[in-house]
């Protein structure tokens, strides 16, 4: 709860808070990590065989493949760890996605940033609550759509209700 209070501005009231279901991220990344781990293992066997035969080019190509597989394993493991450090908040002033990694990453969405709220159900019983659609310039290909929301929730209806209350016109 201390992490949540550190995100709140003075006088701001917490309406709802949640976090992603960490098991969902593990389940989604397990297959990729397993495949990448096997890929690394086979690449290292190839590198060892190439080293034993003295084929330098084959050895370095095998090491490149092993490094690529290791990068996939590390990236997917970081995604799982980031999900465990993610908090979602809805206050009386804004919606917040806070990731307390080495350097905290806090995204805030004012009531006028909240668009149509959709719940996207997953097969595992969790759901994503998407509430912000924007367009950002990513690279030379041009503008790309970006969606923001609360990912992997076990109680999406409560989050949706809190977001609807926040984005409802006051007056």
Distances (CA, A) of 42 to 45, 64, 78, 149: 5, 12, 23, 38
pLDDT at 1 over 60: no
Distances (CA, A) of 44 to 47, 53, 111: 5, 14, 52
- Of 41, 57, 81, the residue that ends a domain is 81
Say yes or no: 105 and 153 in one domain: yes
pLDDT at 43 over 90: yes
Say yes or no: 91 and 157 in one domain: yes
pLDDT tens for each residue of 83-142: 778 889 999 999 999 887 667 788 899 999 898 999 999 888 889 999 987 766 566 666
Say yes or no: 159 and 116 in one domain: yes
CA distance 13 to 17: 11
**Number of structural domains found in the chain:** 2
Which structural domain, as residue segments, surrounds residue 54? Answer: 26-81
The separation between CA 20 and the C-alpha centre of its own chain, rounded to angstroms, equals 9
% pLDDT > 70, the chain: 87
CB 80 within 8 A of CB 99: no
CA distance 134 to 88: 19
CB 153 within 8 A of CB 18: yes
Q: Nearest Cα to 108, choosing from 98, 119, 122, 118? A: 98
Say yes or no: 9 and 76 in one domain: no
Q: How many CB atoms lie within 10 A of CB 76?
A: 20
Say yes or no: 144 and 102 in one domain: yes
% pLDDT > 90, the chain: 40
CATH of the domain at 114: 2.30.29.30
Give the pLDDT confidence score for residue 57 in this predicted structure.
92
- Of 63, 81, 99, the residue that ends a domain is 81
Say yes or no: 90 and 163 in one domain: yes
Sign of the CA dihedral running 32, 35, 40, 43: negative
Question: Model pTM?
Answer: 0.70
For all residues of the chain together, what is the average pLDDT? 84
């Amino acid at each position: 709860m201390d992490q949540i209070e550190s995100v709140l501005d003075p006088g701001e009231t917490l309406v709802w808070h949640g976090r992603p279901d960490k098991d969902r991220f593990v389940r989604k990344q397990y297959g990729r990590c397993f495949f990448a781990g096997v890929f690394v293992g086979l690449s290292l066997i190839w590198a060892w065989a190439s080293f034993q035969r003295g084929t330098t080019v084959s050895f370095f190509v095998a090491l490149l493949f092993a490094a690529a597989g290791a990068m996939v394993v590390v990236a997917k493991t970081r995604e799982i760890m980031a999900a465990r450090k993610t908090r979602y908040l809805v206050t009386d002033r804004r919606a917040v996605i806070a990731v307390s990694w080495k350097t905290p990453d806090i995204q805030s969405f004012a009531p006028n940033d909240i668009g149509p709220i959709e719940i996207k159900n997953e097969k595992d019983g969790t759901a994503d609550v998407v509430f912000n659609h924007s367009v950002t310039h990513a690279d030379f290909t041009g503008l790309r759509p970006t969606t923001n929301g609360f990912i992997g929730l076990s109680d999406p209806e409560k989050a949706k209700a809190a977001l609807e209350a926040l984005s409802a016109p006051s007056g």
